[in-house]
């Protein structure tokens, strides 16, 4: 991957959200986890289900393979520190629905294609697992998953598709929605939960 300023900013930001124990992460285990994820994603892509059914399947995979609480908290930013436990729980449930719907539709673009795991290597305090997305009639896409053990097991907390960083994109999106709702976390949760 070409290292650019955006990627370095993301790397520095993400390093702060992971524990030092993440340095003991296994590249082999991370790659195996992403291989399992990719196998299930490919099965969903090939199943030919309706968009709603595919999004429901992707939501299940998001729950199974990603560290939803960490992703949700990071995307909320500094406002997470002032939120009550109940607000964070409600927001995390709403965020899970929002992200599954949004990226379920994005992955639906892969219908007719195939995702292949290429390899894994440590990057700062996480493991980066590289995959290639082969699409009909289009050039291959590079997609990288960032894996940590912050949750107690190997799960991904970020992915990058052709240089577009999910964590940074969603932090900006959630921040913009929160601004439009007067920095009201309850209103944010109600809005993204209805997407």
CA angle 63–67–69, rounded 5-degree value: 95
Give the tens place of pLDDT for each residue, 113-172. Answer: 889 999 999 998 999 999 999 988 888 999 999 999 988 999 999 999 999 999 999 999
Q: Answer whether 185's CB lies under 8 Å from 85's CB.
A: no
The superfamily CATH assigns to domain 25-193 is Tgt2/MlaC (3.10.450.710)
Q: Which of 137-152 are b and which e, b meaning 16 or more Cβ less than 10 Å from the residue's Cβ?
A: eeeebebbbbbbbbee
pLDDT of residue 109: 78
Query: Which pTM does this prediction carry?
Result: 0.82
Q: How far apart are CA 68 and CA 182, in angstroms?
A: 25
CA angle 154–157–18, rounded 5-degree value: 80
Side-chain half-sphere exposure of 168, counting CA atoms within 13 A: 15
pLDDT exceeds cutoff 50 at 19: no
Q: Where are the domains of the chain?
A: 25-193
* Mean per-residue pLDDT, 26-37: 96
């Amino acid at each position: 991957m070409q290292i650019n300023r955006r990627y370095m900013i993301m790397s520095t930001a993400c390093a702060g959200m992971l524990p030092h124990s993440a340095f003991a992460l296994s590249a082999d285990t991370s790659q195996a986890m992403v291989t399992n994820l990719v196998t299930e994603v490919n099965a969903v892509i090939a199943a030919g289900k309706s968009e709603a059914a595919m999004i429901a399947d992707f939501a299940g995979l998001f729950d199974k393979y990603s560290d939803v609480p960490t992703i949700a908290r990071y995307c909320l930013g500094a406002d997470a520190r002032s939120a009550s436990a109940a607000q964070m729980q409600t927001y995390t449930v709403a965020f899970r629905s929002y992200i599954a719907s949004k990226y379920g539709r994005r992955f639906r673009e892969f219908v007719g294609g195939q995702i292949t795991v290429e390899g894994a290597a440590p990057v700062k305090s996480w493991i980066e697992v590289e995959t290639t997305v082969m699409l009909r009639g289009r050039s291959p896409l590079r997609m990288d998953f960032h894996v940590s053990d912050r949750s107690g097991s190997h799960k991904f907390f970020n992915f990058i598709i052709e240089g577009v960083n999910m964590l940074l994109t969603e932090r900006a999106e959630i921040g913009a929605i929160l601004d439009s709702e007067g920095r009201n976390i309850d209103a944010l949760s109600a809005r993204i939960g209805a997407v």
